[in-house]
Structure 1
């Protein structure tokens, strides 16, 4: 297990449980302990009043999720990544306390000792090739499936980032998924009667995709080619001679964390320019390319400051979570957005039915509730004169104050209410991952305290999508 250093940060993990059997035993032991706690909690609830019972339930869910998160963090690999995905899907069916705790797996990950990952690098590149590099044994970043080390090529001093996959993670995926699905039921974090098989099928597919470093290399090179002429963005260059199925090496690209004091100190116009570029990038990825980097973690983005606003650039990192969307899905989703912007609920419903979010026979009240949520989500893109947008969230000239908005909280509350409906269903996987990135866009613009009116940018993207639509061609 990991320890904490003198600064309170998590220390490195000295070894990994890489075998399916030992990983299964560790999780099963956790499940048995959870069963005993559930029994004790249920007995104690008999003697509690309603209010105390509700408080006790919330604390119980929080503790169960914390134990689960701690164990997943120690095991690393696919089981931990699955825990991250559960925090994403979980907003639709897990207790709020469990989602909050599991979300901590996104950015509180201890690294693995160099002695564990060095053999992977040596086998992948060969000793002679590895000797060409001077590798920093302290990782730049650690995640659930691998970690990144900074390196320098001895011959020319080229600065590199070497992403190394943890040993055994690819082989453990199937066993991890089976064990974790059972564990989630044993800890009673999922509602009774809810079939979570589709969720785990999606998690399984996602995990296989994220350990496919050849695919990640392809998407990195594709993004680099498509953004090569756009001075607002930097994509690392893949260094092919130091890549394999378990190692991905790219050029090291410097930049500042989004929350760095030097970024916060930028004047409003420079922050707005950065935010506008970030918003436009997302809309281009989805509506034009049908190819979206769906992991919005701040660790995947850096800001490189120039001498002025024209020189400021986003550095884009880690394309392992890139998802490809079919044109039919894009067209149907575009109809939902158009319907929400125009307050046209029939159009909105048609898009939702086509995408699988609802059935044609749903009651009007269910359709209206869904439409109200969609109309709320597009609040930043409403016309400047729209009186439904809180006055405090508009500048004098009609720009949206992203940093002052509580829109994510309002939308989450409305989504939670809608989830209580008997007509509720876990959204299609495309929606879950698209909205993951969409939420990341909002958080990015909020972190930059942008004052940006993105309506025209969105309308232009919708117009381009309509031009590409096969339906338009058929008409």
Structure 2
């Protein structure tokens, strides 16, 4: 019924072509250099061809392939600048759009899930999707009561494709290393595998979105569209007009970029306290910058398919760890990390070395405001990724408890987006207001 490539063998061949293509282009590049082309020109051509293949493969396959591409898109800021250009353009495409499914396929899904008279639910329905993502695509429509809505339709076979892709990508993770130098893809892919069932369950997504919409109703800074209708493989929500964050990143004014960054940080830290949930898919395609009353810019938030459940809000140990690091309390932070399971009992580390490892990471919180830049993130990535550096050696010995895995990824992803924005953000103020344990005496 679907044009989504569903046979495991077909998808495996396409995914396997990514690392093989890298190797093949390297050989092709060697031949070009022997033929007289400069190494710089050849390298640029190889990167462009690899980027084109990356978008085409991950976008066409959708499923877990595109999901990985979207997750990687927020980390392009960490790539060396001479490497990042082609990949930045290719990965950014995955934040907002991918090759769509044919209208006929979409109509069949709607007929199955809403009934053969599904068109009666809408006054208008646009066949051309407004966005096409990893497991579904969104169509703009007008609900029967006149409300403008977004109709999210899950791809037929999405579950099968998602699981198949993530299994194959897990096997290829080592070979895909050249796509994001210095980043270990295996933990990221494993965590995605753990959350497949939630990602596919639109009932859970609708519940999370309703919770957020209620908590942020009439909020001056954050807008969450209400759920209009939820069914299996179909989710209808209010339409949210605004400028996609990817467009703010590529062409926004300084005011827009700073405002978007501040609101993104605010939503990251206020969400768990107000809803008991952490929005866990912070790539730019899921956010809009909306002009409200008197020109006040607000942040629109979409897609609640992946959330982390934090009933008590942000875990207090995170705030305590940050505070102790800022206070240069080497013994205190080391004892705290040992007690929380970040350092295994079988390992003994130098407390001062642990503090020196953490200090650069918390730099954005030391000042009243901090400007997130790609160069700052590249420096952090290089420090931790270089096998010769003390930071790399120490980082390999620090353990991340399972309950912190998703929090860690969401925080890193949000920082990646802030660096793409180049935003100046008053992060310390947000932490003082919303992060338990950050202020002394808490």
* Alignment-derived partner of residue 436 in structure 1: 413
Q: Does 1:343 align with 2:328?
A: yes
Distance 1:444 1:36 in 2: 34
CA offsets 1:131-151 (integer angstroms, 9 cap, x no match): 321211111122122111111
Does the CA contact (< 8 Å) of 2:286 and 2:302 recur in 1? yes
| Matched position secondary structure for 2:137 | strand
Does the CA contact (< 8 Å) of 2:121 and 2:143 recur in 1? yes
* Alignment-derived partner of residue 71 in structure 1: 57
Backbone CA RMSD of aligned residues: 4.5
Unaligned segments of structure 1, at least 5 residues: 1-13, 384-399
Distance 1:288 1:265 in 2: 30
Q: 1:16 to 1:370 in 2, by over 3 A?
A: same
* Alignment-derived partner of residue 395 in structure 1: none
Distance 1:196 1:260 in 2: 28
Distance 1:264 1:35 in 2: 37
* Alignment-derived partner of residue 424 in structure 1: 395
* Alignment-derived partner of residue 365 in structure 2: 378
Distance 2:359 2:176 in 1: 34
CA offsets 1:10-35 (integer angstroms, 9 cap, x no match): xxxx9331232322233345565556
Superposed displacement of residue 249, structure 1: 0.3
Distance 2:47 2:210 in 1: 43
Distance 2:30 2:419 in 1: 44
* Alignment-derived partner of residue 324 in structure 1: 309
User: After the TM superposition, which residues 403-422 of structure 1 pair with which residues of structure 2 at under 5 Å, given as runs?
Assistant: 405=371, 407-420=373-386, 421-422=392-393
Query: With CA pairs under 8 Å and 6+ residues apart, which has the higher RCO, 1 or 2?
Result: 2
Distance 2:309 2:58 in 1: 28
Q: 1:408 to 1:314 in 2, by over 3 A?
A: same
Does the CA contact (< 8 Å) of 2:139 and 2:152 recur in 1? yes
Does the CA contact (< 8 Å) of 2:316 and 2:435 recur in 1? no
TM-score computed with the length of structure 1 as normaliser: 0.71
Q: Does 1:169 align with 2:155?
A: no
Q: 1:183 to 1:54 in 2, by over 3 A?
A: farther
Does the CA contact (< 8 Å) of 2:373 and 2:422 recur in 1? no
Superposed displacement of residue 165, structure 1: 1.1
Distance 1:177 1:366 in 2: 36
Distance 2:381 2:154 in 1: 36
Q: How many residues align?
A: 419
| Matched position secondary structure for 2:226 | coil
Unaligned segments of structure 2, at least 5 residues: 387-391
